[in-house]
Structure 1
Amino acid sequence: MGSVLRISAAAVEVRVARVDARTVYIEWPWLSPDPGSRSPWDGLMGFPRDPDHSDWRNTPWRIAPDTSELSAGDVCIIGVPATEVRVAAITHYDPPADLGWLPRPRWMLDLVPLEYGTDPEAGYGFALDTDEPVKMEIVSHTS
């Protein structure tokens, strides 16, 4: 905990499944719904339509064009720009966590972007054992 990482993911095309007044729902290509889950998931990830919404501090993913311009059926680009984050927590699940999707994660990192380090509401969990193509590099270790 406390180590600084640089995370990134190459941009890929994804489809917008639906939109409402506040959220754009993207078909998530790297996870699949877990039919045996107690927490059903529909295969969609939601992102704020407002580009200035504070929820953008809770995801590393960025979308182009701007989410306020997207409609259901559109194709957009999603990726993770190079971002330095601090490891806030490391959680091991045994058995793997039932979060509604497959694969069920065994390891989760809680990450906080350095630029929002003083915001107690900022940050996101990242499962280490999924197919999400996020690259992680160690920038510095804590002693």
Structure 2
Amino acid sequence: MVPRIGDYVIVSCESAAARVVGIDRYITLEWPWGAIDNSSNFRWNGQVALPHGEAHEEWSPFRLDPAPSTLHVGDVCAVFIPPTRLYVGHYEEYQPPRNLGWAPAPTAGLYVVPPERMDVDMEYAGYMLYLGGSDPIRVEPLND
């Protein structure tokens, strides 16, 4: 399935354990998927920062268990995407796979927006998911 702008899809990602390495406006995790690609000119440090808190203008489909408000640096939590209905704001394929500093490199990018955030500035409304790399993200068509 190749998502088109305007489609609705169900996105999910299996749970994995991640260690908290920083908490401020974002909660930073040692990302449980992928590996640092030392041959890349891009220097990914193996971490991902996710927005958290009700007042944060940015959004992410990733969820943590336990909740971010209870976590401290050094804690281990589960990171996952529960099956979620999302709007496709953008889709692009990468040929060759996109060099972002991690391996395996993703073969596509999918910008998703929750329906309740459609009135928010698109820069902050959604989240870019990278597909075909290491993150076990699943995208299914929604048959409404």
Aligned residue for 1:68, secondary structure, equals helix
Cα RMSD for the two superposed structures = 2.0
Q: Percent identity?
A: 33
1:28 Cα deviation (Å)?
Answer: 0.9
For structure 2, the residue ranges without an aligned partner over 5 or more in a row are none
Task: Work out the CA distance in 1 between the residues paired with 2:138 and 2:107.
Answer: 18
Q: CA deviation at 1:47?
A: 2.1
Corresponding residue of 2:12? 8
Q: Is the contact made by 2:23 and 2:73 (CA closer than 8 Å) also made in structure 1? A: no
CA contact (8 A) 2:27 2:50 kept: yes
Pick one of 21, 37, 59 that aligns with 1:34.
37
Deviations 1:66-104 (A, max 9, x none): 223222221112111221112222212223212111111
2:126 aligned to 123, 129, 134, which one?
A: 123
Gaps spanning 5+ residues in structure 1: where? none
CA contact (8 A) 1:51 1:68 kept: no
- 1:11 corresponds to which letter in structure 2? S
Distance 1:20 1:79 in 2: 18
Whether the aligned pair in 1 keeps the contact of 2:106 and 2:134 (CA below 8 Å) is: no
**TM superposition score normalised by structure 1:** 0.83
Tell me whether 25-34 or 86-95 shows the greater mean CA deviation: 86-95
TM-score, structure 2 length as denominator? Answer: 0.83
Give the whole-Å Cα distance in 1 for the aligned partners of 2:31 and 2:65.
15
Deviation at 1:11, TM superposition (A): 2.9
Match in the other structure for 2:96: 95
Residues 8 and 135 in structure 1, CA contact (< 8 A), matched pair in contact too: yes
Q: How many residue pairs get matched?
A: 138
Q: How does 1:41-60 map to 2 (within 5 A)?
A: 41-55=44-58, 57=59, 59-60=60-61
User: Contact between 1:3 and 1:86, CA under 8 Å: does it hold in 2?
Assistant: yes
User: In the alignment, is the contact (CA less than 8 A) between 1:14 and 1:26 conserved in 2?
Assistant: yes
What amino acid does structure 2 have at the position aligned with 1:21? D
Identify the residue that residue 78 of structure 2 maps to in structure 1: 77
Are positions 1:112 and 2:113 aligned together? yes
